[in-house]
Amino acid sequence: MRIALAQQNYHIGNFMGNTAKIINAIGAAKEQGADIIVFSELCVCGYPPRDFLEFNDFVKKSYQAIDEIKEHADTIAVIVGAPDINPVREGKDLFNAAFFLYDKQVKAVAHKTCLPNYDVFDEYRYFEPAYDWNVVEFKGKKIAITICEDIWNLGDNPLYRNCPMDELMKFGPDVMINISASPFDYTHVEDRKAIVKLNVNRYKLPMIYCNCVGSQTEIVFDGGSLVFDKHANMVGHLPLFEEA
């Protein structure tokens, strides 16, 4: 299976520009013969959307963008990040979600479990944590999709009650895909490599990690997307501070 990564610079609320950028990348991935193309966390609306999420029109435009993008997910599967409405009348109104698009349809939606509420993050203010988990079956493979912080809840003193990969392992996945909007700091490049390697060593699965680039107000995103094989060898990476 050929998997493409799209490490791009998105702008909060620029649904037209973000959607065009995503569709262009899908076209390029098709030309390269990719089976799946992976985009970053909340790429459809831009990250972090913060209080824009409280406006119904903002969420509506995000769904409209998904509808437009899925028309291009015909011969290729597309994983994009966007808010998803919580159908239950309990908890927060939205999930931070990854949409799996194929055959011009939304085939699956994965919700983020671990919602950071420290430093520049304030996700628990807006999003409900995932309460169920499943893999996505595609072309004979089972894909475990997680979102950013979901892969960081390891160690002797985890910050969150649930570890989504522990739940997803019950379904026998073949590969892990993590979509992120991970900000830059001086140590984070090596920290990311270490946490991806830790996940690979723990679950004995290859991992694909897709980050974004650019800046949103005071937050800078540095890219550095990663690919590790099941033996914890880094077999691919994208540049820092560049779209790719």
Q: Residue 156's pLDDT is what?
A: 78
The pLDDT of residue 191 is 96
Cβ-Cβ contacts under 8 Å for 71 (sequence gap 6 or more): 104
What pLDDT sits at residue 107?
A: 99
Q: How far is CA 143 from CA 2, 48, 80, 131, in A?
A: 13, 26, 14, 18
Identify the three-state secondary structure at position 233: coil
- Residue 190 tokens, joined: 């090596």
CA angle (184, 6, 75) in 5-degree steps: 160
> Residues 106-157: pLDDT tens digits?
999 999 999 999 999 999 999 999 999 999 999 999 999 999 999 999 987 7
Catalytically annotated residues: 41, 112, 148
Percentage of the chain lying above the pLDDT 70 cut: 100
Report whether 78 contacts 113 (CB < 8 A).
no
pLDDT at 168 over 90: yes
Token readout for 177 is 């895909």
Q: What is the mean pLDDT of the chain?
A: 97
Q: What are the structural domains, with CATH classification, of the chain?
A: 3-236 (3.60.110.10)
Residue 188 token pair: 């984070």
pLDDT tens for 61-88 read 999 999 999 999 999 999 999 999 999 9
End-to-end C-alpha distance for the chain, whole angstroms:
20
What integer is the mean pLDDT of 32-60? Answer: 99
pLDDT of the residue at 157: 79
